[in-house]
Amino acid sequence: MSSPSPYRVQYSYSTAPVPPARITTSRTELFQLGIAFAVLTLDFTLILGYGGLLFSGTGGAVAISPTIIAVAATAGLTAFVAHEMAHKISAQRHGCWAEFRYAPMWLLFSIFSSFLGFLWAAPGATVVGGMADVRDWGRTSLAGPLSNIGFAAAFYAGAVGAFEAGSSLWVWLVLLGYLNGWFGTFNLLPIGPLDGRKVFHWSKEAWILAIVAAACFAVVCYAALVFGTPLVVR
């Protein structure tokens, strides 16, 4: 989720434009992004471990294993970190200052919610300064959900391959596809500070295509988890 420039008043960073295609960062950004990623990994681990595998139908907790931790970390990297970095890279290529900033209270709330078996998180946002063009805002906002759609497609393709090969790994891959599809769909809702509002304002056609693609992957992956088999077109 990208955020407009009002946040910049909280920091003493310059919002002077940087040369296009020059990707920069700071210790502050790396630290806050690392904290947000670690908390989200913990959240997913708690949900998958102590909350039981979603859609498994067992209703019981499963032991936390290296596999669950790896899946949780992958979910955090693809659904969240890559999403935010896509915003950042797009904004900086448009010559704007852009860095991720975390939301400590929302991170704490996410841990609380994960103990209850669900995730409600707003870990933070990529703060952008110096951007005024509607088209630039739309493209920058769309970059995050597009990364989720790309990962959802890749994970689902991998799940189909693993299923055809008789590997149980397909369940984890389709779960990662679902999480990316859902995260992309949610962020494309055209409300509040979400990406969808800026994309919709820029191009309704682009917004429709993106949200339909993200929602389709979320639904297809969800169905695969519920019915115990991925949809394979032969």
| Helix/strand/coil (H/E/C) assignment for every residue in the chain | CEECHHHHHHCCCCCCCCCCCCCCCCHHHHHHHHHHHHHHHHHHHHHHHCCCCCCCCCCCCCCCCHHHHHHHHHHHHHHHHHHHHHHHHHHHHCCCEEEEEECHHHHHHHHHHHHCCCCCCCCEEEEEECCCCHHHHHHHHHHHHHHHHHHHHHHHHHHHHHHHCCCCHHHHHHHHHHHHHHHHHHHCCCCCCCHHHHHHHHCHHHHHHHHHHHHHHHHHHHHHHHHCCCCCCC
Domain annotation covers residue 159: yes
pLDDT over 70 (residue 233): no
pLDDT at 72: 95
pLDDT over 80 (residue 124): yes
Domain annotation covers residue 210: yes
Domain annotation covers residue 21: yes
pLDDT at 15: 44
Residue 29's pLDDT band, with cuts at 50, 70 and 90, is very high
pLDDT over 50 (residue 54): no
pLDDT at 144: 97
pLDDT over 70 (residue 36): yes
Quote the number of domains for the chain: 1
pLDDT over 80 (residue 96): yes
What angle do helix axes 169-187 and 82-93 make, rounded to 10 degrees?
50
Domain annotation covers residue 234: no
Question: Rounded distance, CA 117 to CA 157, Å?
Answer: 28
Mean pLDDT across 190-201: 94
pLDDT over 70 (residue 26): yes
What is the arrangement of strands in the sheet containing 124-129, beginning at the earlier edge strand?
2-3, 124-129, 97-102
The Cα-based distances of 227 to 55, 144, 161, 230 in angstroms read 9, 30, 17, 8
Domain annotation covers residue 150: yes
Mean pLDDT across 194-202: 96
Mean pLDDT across 104-130: 88
Domain annotation covers residue 27: yes
Are 37 and 76 a contacting pair, CB within 8 Å? yes
pLDDT at 198: 96
pLDDT at 172: 96
Domain annotation covers residue 25: yes
Q: What is the mean pLDDT of the chain?
A: 86
Which residues have CB under 8 Å from 42's CB, separation 6+? 72, 111, 114
Question: Rounded distance, CA 217 to CA 225, Å?
Answer: 12
pLDDT at 189: 96
Q: How far is CA 181 from the centre of its chain?
A: 9
pLDDT over 90 (residue 2): no
Residue type at position 120: W
17 vs 40, more confident: 40
Which structural domain, as residue segments, surrounds residue 176?
2-227
Are 180 and 151 a contacting pair, CB within 8 Å? yes
Are 17 and 96 a contacting pair, CB within 8 Å? yes
Mean pLDDT across 27-46: 95
26 vs 10, more confident: 26
pLDDT over 80 (residue 7): no
29 vs 54, more confident: 29
Domain annotation covers residue 99: yes
